[in-house]
Structure 1
Amino acid sequence: MDPALLRERELFKKRALSTPAVEKRAAPSESSSKKKKPKLDQGGSTGCKQASDGSFNLKALSGSSGYRFGVLAKIVNYMKTRHQRGDTYHLSLDEILDETKLLDIGLKQKQWLMSEALASNPKIEVKEGKYAFKPRYHLKDKKALLRLLDKHDQLGLGGILLDDIEEGLPNAQKAIKALGDQIIFISRPDKKKILFYNDKHCQFVVDEEFQKLWRSIPVDSMDEEKIEDYLKRQGISSMQETGPKKMIPMPKRKKSASLKKRRFKTHNDHLAGVLEDYSEGVPTKK
């Protein structure tokens, strides 16, 4: 072999050994590089999923602190629904659990429901160990609703929320529709509806002249003090001034320090030159 080629071969080996080699790793695939992030449950930390019909998936709550309260919420909602459809009689706890399909709860949950949860719930009425829904107003039919609205109107209590009426009156929408123009609907700013009794004896026609005078005085941007000042300028006294005036008690005056020092009258002033002072002992004879 040519000696020149041998020398070049040896030099190539030396250069190869002196140069550090870096291993090139294969590029990771797209599927392995992207790690799948666990999806957060929309039900929150307790994993409570709410279905489209408003019910809760209690199996997801099993073993968590929210399980027992999920059971309580389902029972109260069911008792309200059955009351609204006219089933107002009381049920035992076993009957409630059977109808709500909550037969798999433990003894501790049952004891908690009987001793604490259902017994102290403001929307549940307990009678002889059985339970029923407790609405704000117990109404049997449309006549009872009309009497209640009339009583509120006479006492000056105003109207009643539609939610409270639907809660306590079975088939409330049917009864309200049957009453017709005997009741009035008013919507609040929060879009909640209030029912009032429509007293037809109080309906009268106000002269258009008085309506114009009433609407000609804007009071929306005025507070009570400004309205009272305006009435005084017009020679009209407000209702607040007609009542008995309260007497404001006068504050007690503090006695000055000079009055605290009382002066005592001295006696035997006519013997001032005769009496002698013995406070320092017996005086010596001169």
Structure 2
Amino acid sequence: MTHPKPGDPIWVDLYTADPDASIAFYAELFGWEAERAGAEFGGYITFRKDGKAVGGGMGKTEDGVDGPDQWTVYLSSPDARATAAKAKAHGGVVVVEPMDVGELGAMAILGDVGGAGVGIWQPGAHAGFETAALVEGGKWIDAEGAPSWFELHTRAYDASLDFYREVFGWDDVFAMPEVPGFRYSTIHSTSPMLGGVMDASEFLPEGQPAGWSVYFGSADVDKSVAKVVELGGAVVAPAMDTPYGRMATVTDVTGARFNLGGDAA
């Protein structure tokens, strides 16, 4: 995960109205530890699992970007400014202009051609995730609390795939066999696939925007779902077995949505 290809998911961070509550929630759920940066980095939070970085977080500010509490997925870029310019040229919008983050790297936030928000991260001293859950032979390895999969749900399926090919250099997209009501492509045709794009035009509720989401690994998805509720979160989609393991969609204590994934029951 520290040597991603351009366009690979490289980082996630949490935009939250209550950083203290969020830190406590994920500490109890996944055993994450939180480090807060100094004022020069706006008090940015780095979440770690067993000492390894799994994601970040930032509290809302009065002059910050308005929006719901949410996890943002960042894709790797060798040049954040050039990628942002390509996004504009191919129908996207730049929500947060490219900026340097000290020696750590450079970032920007985009709206893609289907209206989904996505981040750009140009690695510097901060290379991205330091650990991830892996799936081998249908089994989740080193799963608990580690980022594992990244997924775009969009109503603009074909246009979005073209956008990411042109803007982020996705040159190895694999289209899974289509069946009625299901169109899905993975970012890579071979392992590690890391994430995918789903045609969500038939099931996204009216008014709900397209969006990227993150899956965190769980050693026991049902227990994790119960823990989410105990800690003040909520269940969006209950745990169910799929061909790729047991999955659930939940929200944390301030309403930020994420997914859980692990071995089938």
TM-score (norm 2): 0.22
Larger relative strand fraction: 2
Highest RCO, 1 vs 2 (Cα 8 Å, sep ≥ 6): 2
Larger radius of gyration: 1
TM-score (norm 1): 0.21
